[in-house]
Copies of this chain bind each other. A is one copy, B any other.
Amino acid sequence: MTVVVAVVIAAVVVVAALVVIVTHLVWYSYTSSFKFLIQVTKLSCALVCQSGCVLETLDSHVQDHGLTMPLDLGAKGSCHIGGNVATNAGGIRLLRYGSLHGSVLGLEAVLPDGEVMDCLTPLRKDNTGYDLKQLFIGSEGTLGIITKVSILCPQKPNAVCVALLGCETFQKVLDIFVSCKSYLGEIMSAFEFLDSESMELVKENLSLSSPLQQYPFYVLVECSGSNGDHDEQKLTNMLQAVMDSGAALDGTVATDSTKINNIWALRESCAAALLKDGYNYKYDVSLPLQHFYSLAEEMRERVKDHAIRTVAYGHVGDGNLHLNVTTAKYCPATMALIEPFIYDWVAQHRGSISAEHGLGLKKRQFIYHSKTPAAVALMASIKQAIDPRGIMNPYKVLPQAAKKE
């Protein structure tokens, strides 16, 4: 009898211990992102946090204070804010809230000599000396390691609505962009485009469905504002104008979150859908808008016998084109058709060979396609001044030969 009691007690203790451990683990994984958070000041709209916070977690957190993060991107569920700042991440809200060079108020970084550079101010204005934080934004970890950031968070919009439009030519996409700037003004929060190949891609590879029939180009416009009725009226006026002028051939508006999410999924799933084709040759370039889509057309013609598809989508509002070619597996002959042709083309049209993805290891030798030798030499002298031993993320960003005498 005492043995049975002892076994029961032992079993209860083991189960209780397991419950405690599992509960602790679940709670830990749930709260682990929050423990990096330092402070949200609602009055001045400033978030101060450690660099290991996940973007989406931060967005949820600041939303509780009536704010929103000034950046949003497909990887928001896994990317860290420190990495966002170190790579000057762009994304879909840049059109509205500007780049991180404007939104980051301060940061703390550990320098190569171990010194901690504390510029973690939550102040909006501070003209006391050089704005050092700017150097670290987009330096891809080559000057120091960002450990904390302070970010200006805009007011959370009370209402969001989205329109998906179909049109005939890329020129019509630009015409719609001009109309949107005029009719939507301050409430426009995204202006994205997909070509028909992008739409086919997400339909075929991810079984998504479009609310519109097939058109050569699609425009996704998002509005976010403080008064939903006003915003819807502005969006309706814009739609009326672009349908009347013939710029758009069809369009649909979404105001409920399910339909909004379904429309956004068409645009945001492009990168995931590409992977299903096999190997991806991925390019992220900035171009003056008058040349924006010509690159995609030339590339499609160039690789037509070698590629599964050539798709183009991106942030028209920011002049940022995502151009992708896919093959079943990596093919040097296809690569030779794409590079350096694409970099030369972008340089000839005064674009940037890397709009938001940075240079890293692969593109650093192409830096001269977007920057002058004098500018690269100045970068090298700054790198030399801050990291003379070259220990911070070596072999990245600057080309091998870039050394200031």
| Residues of A near any B CB (own CB < 8 A) | 41-45, 66, 87-88, 90, 94, 98-99, 101-103, 111, 115-119, 121-132, 134-135, 137-139, 143, 155, 157-158, 174, 177-178, 181-187, 224-227, 230, 233-234, 286, 288-290, 315, 318-320, 350-359, 363, 367, 369-372, 374-379, 381-386, 397-398, 404
Contact = CB atoms under 8 A, between A and B. Distances in A.
Number of copies: 2
Contacts of A186: 155, 157, 186-187, 224-226
Contact of A123 (B45, B123, B286): B286
Contacts of A98: 98, 102-103
Contacts of A225: 185-186
Contacts of A126: 286, 352, 354-355, 370
Given A99-B102, A137-B131, A226-B186, A286 B374 contact: no
A129 B371 contact: yes
Contacts of A369: 128
The 3 closest A-B pairs by CB, nearest first: A102-B102, A185-B226, A134-B134
Contacts of A102: 98-99, 101-103
Given A43-B174, A123-B319, A132 B378 contact: yes
Nearest to A157: B185
A129 B44 contact: no
Contact of A155 (B87, B130, B185, B286): B185
5 contacts: A41-B288, A116-B374, A126-B354, A129-B375, A135-B382
A317 to B, nearest CB: 8
A139 B132 CA distance: 11
Contacts of A384: 385
Given A137-B131, A372-B118, A125 B319 contact: yes
B131 A286 contact: no
Contacts of A350: 121
Given A125-B99, A367-B128, A117 B43 contact: no
Q: Could you say which of A98, A177, A358 has the most chain B C-beta atoms within 10 Å of its C-beta?
A: A98
B43 A290 contact: yes
Nearest to A237: B227
A377 B35 CA distance: 32
A38 to B, nearest CB: 14
Given A125-B355, A234-B227, A374-B118, A155 B182 contact: yes
Nearest to A227: B234
B127 A358 contact: yes
A32 to B, nearest CB: 29
A205 to B, nearest CB: 27
A124 B372 contact: no
Contacts of A137: 131, 134
Given A155-B185, A183-B226, A185-B227, 4 more contacts: A101-B131, A123-B351, A127-B359, A129-B398
Given A102-B98, A185-B157, A226-B183, A379 B125 contact: no
Contact of A129 (B174, B355, B397): B397
Contacts of A359: 127-129
